[in-house]
Structure 1
């Protein structure tokens, strides 16, 4: 579509490679002024980086749908975005698969289309903020003088929890959630903290990009004295897609089950008791203090005293 020639960016650069090479150079000392000018749900100037959700077109957000429906050019994440979504919302748009393209190809492609007056959308799977590599593209575009912004989406761990009819946090079971990935070419062994999360006990560990490594990950967990081999594990393949599949087991046996199913990609791995949805305690949110204080009143405690002692409704979100 383009020959890679560039227009001048804010720093006068006309080299797309320079824009790509400069990603990650933003200053962390001051917030971008746009942070205070817009909310996450507002349409803004420039190219939106939209979270397509986990797969089902019905889980694309309202704002995402509006923007995709208006697009002339949709640069999408290949097979990670369901073909049903593309067919439903992008029938009149030019579609470009970003798989196999580097920044030096993608940035001029999107920049030139935007500068020619076309409505451009960058469509990521799930939510761009979770293992999306969106920020480096946004920074490169903005070095080329093209504004961009993020439109949130539903990440696959949330869809997996919905499929399992559970929560990632459960009162008395899991007070913490860890989003992580297994060691590999982009994560060194010393930066792999899956075992530490699982050893904590009250953490739901959500492993992204790790279907191919389920057996290896579980073997490493079994080598740790602090990990119970009977810790529940659920593997949800293609969460919310038509061919969704659920495999359940434990740290001790889930690797063998996933190998037997033949899945090597596109599954969410949830480790922890919350994966079963069992054994949780009743939350404070629906206790007496939040519903008239009948038990407190019987004990002679005033509502004012109760309100001062107990968390607000937003704090009691378990």
Structure 2
């Protein structure tokens, strides 16, 4: 290997000036987003890189085994769970320097709670280039499952990706109550299935409406996907009854119901489904978005 990791690695600030666009063919180790679970939700770029890979370092059970079987059965597979940087970086760097095609496979999108950048910076420290290949994050899969948008005109103008307080996040860094209090924010909580009751109790203590809609989507897009819909006041009981403690995306806000929105300016006289919900009279849907 061309170098080693030392205690000062995390104080370096590599040059992040963009030289390429996402999707470009590049040299180095790609950090690929595996998507939310369904192998068909892997991007074309990600699939091509996996099909050419000699070594795939993947995020264990967070990546659907069906995806590994479909695209990685020819490659050496290494589960990264339980391995620290001092083990992962030499493993990937040595393979890359030996001329092997190496892919680091993260669940969802590696830019969302993926701890990818510290690995990329450590690789940079030993002169091994790396880059991101975006993936579909679980919030988008949950939105598709719920058949709603995370942003809805006059209902939700903003989306917050967040996580609850715990070992990683202090009480002062937990802003879930603030996001919910804004009213027009769809709050997507990652890594918080185990803390649904504590989170909802804090929201109730802060005076939030117990009828505020909440959806918990377990294993979005996986074969065992499950959807629990309720409110701030009752969702904890429903999740505990289902027995889920991990691997679910929690969505809070009026956008969960897909109702109550105002017609956008894009479609002229297209019918407003609004508070009456999804009208059976509408047999076709517009293809564009408000963005």
Paired residue for 1:262, among 218, 225, 243?
Answer: 243
Q: After the TM superposition, which residues 238-253 of structure 1 pair with which residues of structure 2 at under 5 Å, given as runs?
A: 238-253=219-234
Residue of structure 2 equivalent to 1:317: 290
Paired residue for 1:282, among 253, 256, 263?
Answer: 263
Residue of structure 2 equivalent to 1:177: 159
Shift of 1:43: 1.9
Q: Distance in 2 between matches of 1:15 and 1:103?
A: 11
Residue of structure 1 equivalent to 2:272: none
Residue of structure 2 equivalent to 1:23: 10
Residue of structure 2 equivalent to 1:304: none
Matched, 1:32 2:16: yes
TM-score by length of 1: 0.84
Residue of structure 2 equivalent to 1:122: 104
Q: Relative to structure 1, is the Cα distance of residues 98 and 74 closer, same or farther in structure 2, using a 3 angstrom cutoff?
A: same
- Contact 1:77–1:123 under 8 Å retained in 2: yes
Shift of 1:317: 1.7
> For 1:217, what is the secondary structure of its paired residue?
helix
Q: Relative to structure 1, is the Cα distance of residues 198 and 24 closer, same or farther in structure 2, using a 3 angstrom cutoff?
A: farther
Paired residue for 1:59, among 26, 38, 41?
Answer: 41
- Contact 1:24–1:136 under 8 Å retained in 2: no
Residue of structure 1 equivalent to 2:137: 155
Q: Distance in 2 between matches of 1:79 and 1:156?
A: 15
- Contact 1:50–1:122 under 8 Å retained in 2: yes
Matched, 1:207 2:189: yes
> For 1:99, what is the secondary structure of its paired residue?
coil
Q: Distance in 2 between matches of 1:55 and 1:211?
A: 17
> For 1:286, what is the secondary structure of its paired residue?
coil
Residue of structure 2 equivalent to 1:103: 85
Q: How many residues align?
A: 273
The runs of 4+ residues in structure 1 deviating greater than 6 Å are none
Q: Distance in 1 between matches of 2:8 and 2:80?
A: 18
Question: Structure 1, residues 226-263: CA drift from partner, whole Å, max 9, x if none?
Answer: x1110000000000000000000000000011011110
- Contact 1:169–1:274 under 8 Å retained in 2: yes
Question: Structure 1, residues 83-105: CA drift from partner, whole Å, max 9, x if none?
Answer: 00000000100000000000000
TM-score by length of 2: 0.91
- Contact 1:205–1:271 under 8 Å retained in 2: yes
Q: Distance in 2 between matches of 1:230 and 1:24?
A: 46
Consecutive unaligned residues of structure 1, counting only runs of 5 or more, are 1-6, 9-13, 289-313
Q: Distance in 2 between matches of 1:240 and 1:251?
A: 24
Residue of structure 2 equivalent to 1:87: 69
Residue of structure 2 equivalent to 1:78: 60
Over aligned residues, Cα RMSD in angstroms?
Answer: 1.4
Shift of 1:141: 0.2
Q: Distance in 1 between matches of 2:101 and 2:8?
A: 26
Shift of 1:285: 1.6
Consecutive unaligned residues of structure 2, counting only runs of 5 or more, are 270-287
Q: Relative to structure 1, is the Cα distance of residues 281 and 24 closer, same or farther in structure 2, using a 3 angstrom cutoff?
A: farther
